[in-house]
Amino acid sequence: MPSILRDEILKTSEVIVVKVGTNVLTHADGLLNERRIDRLTGDLRQMIAEKHRIVLVSSGAVGAGMGLLRLTERPAELAELQAVAAVGQGKLIETYQQFLQPYGILAAQVLLTADDLSNRKLYLNARNAVRSILDFGALPIINENDTVSTDELHTTFGDNDRLAALVANLFENPLLILLTDVDGLFDRDPAEAEAKLIPLVERWSPDLQKMVADKHSKRSKGGMSSKLKAAKMITESGGSVIIANGDKPESLNSIFTGEETGTLFLPHNTVLSARQRWLGFAVRTEGRLTVDDGAIQAMRQGKSLLSIGVLDAAGTFNKGGIVSVVNGSGDEVARGLTNYGIKDVLLIQGKRTNELYKVLGRTPYSEIIHHNNLIFINGNE
């Protein structure tokens, strides 16, 4: 029976972003599972016909390349991994177009790197491009641009789970559907007989990560842990998330008809602006400010971060850089755009505002981070 709650989410979401992982799209030998892609595109076509705005975030380029190159293991060297992705990306988009074209739907390939969405200008360009593709009635198919990513540790999204969340965050009130090879979030390792599926998560809790038991795959980089991080990002921004089993051919259609399939994560009450979503989740931080409890309390009351509340600073940030604000335990509580570079911060930390001129010989700003350039993380407002 369709769920009233899920049906309402489907109707009110500005965009539905569907992310499908490598293990769902490929056979065990790495070759693309064209039958699976046919079923996937069929479900997407139906939603497009019903005037839903659909974005597909698709893994599979490396898996497709492995199959074409007759590889049995994912390459360990970055250059080889990039080459395999380059070989497979063409096959991946060609396969999607093969199943979409008879229905008059064009596949629009969009390749991104983490830096594309960390840079504010490129972030806005990506948002505008995807919106224009949707306006033309085409299906944006987004994948990580593995071929040009130069630092795997810093620019890899993690089997596209974080990429999917960042893409969903380009829009207000999105629904992100993460299709994986398990039925959803379980209260313990799904392999255990007593494990039970959690159909609804109303509020994020750190305890959710403790339930995760990731499986390792030669073809896939992601796991439930990365999906939970993606879910956390979206729900904190005001969107909804469903994690479901893409290996079951009926799963996506069941979701689209409002059935209680997989695990639904409800949004927090706060709706963030586009700039807040970028600041809080898309951009990579350049440093860290450790602050005292009094500063955290003041910021939560809508006040700016002053130098007297800063205990320590680390990183290589300059004026205008994005920094993490952490508590004494090292937990990130906020992010913001700093008015001072790290050299000045280290000089004025713990100082009162009226002491800044004596230390620096100038007082261009009375605050380290203005409250308008500050956003709380982890669901804190």
pLDDT tops 70 at residue 215:
no
Helices (DSSP H) in 69-119: which residue ranges? 78-100, 114-118
Higher pLDDT among residues 26 and 270, named by residue: 26
CA angle 236, 195, 39 (to 5 degrees): 70
CA atoms of 337 and 320, how far apart (whole Å): 6
- Residues, the chain, total? 381
Q: What tokens were used for 179? A: 């299709």
| 3-class secondary-structure state, position 293 | helix
pLDDT tops 80 at residue 341:
yes
The share of the chain scoring above pLDDT 70, in percent, equals 90
pLDDT of residue 118: 80
pLDDT of residue 121: 85
- C-alpha 132, offset from chain centre: 21
Asked if residue 265 lies in contact with residue 231, where contact means CB atoms within 8 angstroms, the answer is yes
Q: How confident is the model at residue 40 (pLDDT cuts 50, 70, 90)?
A: very high
Could you say which DSSP state residue 73 is in? S
pLDDT tops 80 at residue 15:
yes
Least trusted range by pLDDT, from 11-20, 264-273, 283-292, 298-307:
264-273
CA atoms of 167 and 234, how far apart (whole Å): 10
Question: Mean pLDDT, to the nearest integer, of 201-215?
Answer: 73
Q: What tokens were used for 40? A: 């996937």
pLDDT tops 80 at residue 304:
yes
Asked if residue 184 lies in contact with residue 243, where contact means CB atoms within 8 angstroms, the answer is yes
pTM of the model: 0.80
Q: Diameter of the chain by CA atoms? A: 72
Asked if residue 99 lies in contact with residue 37, where contact means CB atoms within 8 angstroms, the answer is yes
pLDDT of residue 380: 42
Neighbour tally for 368: CB within 10 Å: 27
pLDDT of residue 214: 52
pLDDT tops 50 at residue 66:
yes
Over the chain, what is the mean pLDDT? 86
Distant-in-sequence, close-in-space partners of 11: CB < 8 Å, separation ≥ 6? none
pLDDT tens track for 190-200: 878 888 999 99
CA atoms of 235 and 165, how far apart (whole Å): 10
CA atoms of 67 and 60, how far apart (whole Å): 10
Domains defined along the chain, listed by start: 4-276 (3.40.1160.10), 285-376 (2.30.130.10)
pLDDT tens track for 93-111: 999 999 999 999 999 999 9
pLDDT of residue 189: 80
pLDDT tops 80 at residue 236:
yes
Q: At what angle do helices 78-100 and 34-49 cross, to 10 degrees?
A: 60
pLDDT of residue 271: 66
pLDDT tops 90 at residue 52:
yes
pLDDT tops 50 at residue 150:
no
The share of the chain scoring above pLDDT 90, in percent, equals 52
Least trusted range by pLDDT, from 5-9, 81-85, 169-173, 304-308:
81-85
| Nearest to 339, CA basis, from 304, 315, 293 | 304
pLDDT tops 90 at residue 281:
no
Neighbour tally for 331: CB within 10 Å: 11
Distant-in-sequence, close-in-space partners of 201: CB < 8 Å, separation ≥ 6? 185, 208, 231, 263, 264, 265, 266
pLDDT tops 70 at residue 154:
no
Q: How confident is the model at residue 149 (pLDDT cuts 50, 70, 90)?
A: low
Asked if residue 251 lies in contact with residue 179, where contact means CB atoms within 8 angstroms, the answer is yes
pLDDT tops 50 at residue 268:
yes
pLDDT of residue 107: 95
CA atoms of 137 and 140, how far apart (whole Å): 9
CA atoms of 266 and 176, how far apart (whole Å): 11
Question: Mean pLDDT, to the nearest integer, of 358-369?
Answer: 93
Neighbour tally for 81: CB within 10 Å: 20
Could you say which DSSP state residue 320 is in? T
Question: Mean pLDDT, to the nearest integer, of 144-161?
Answer: 56
CA angle 100, 7, 379 (to 5 degrees): 100
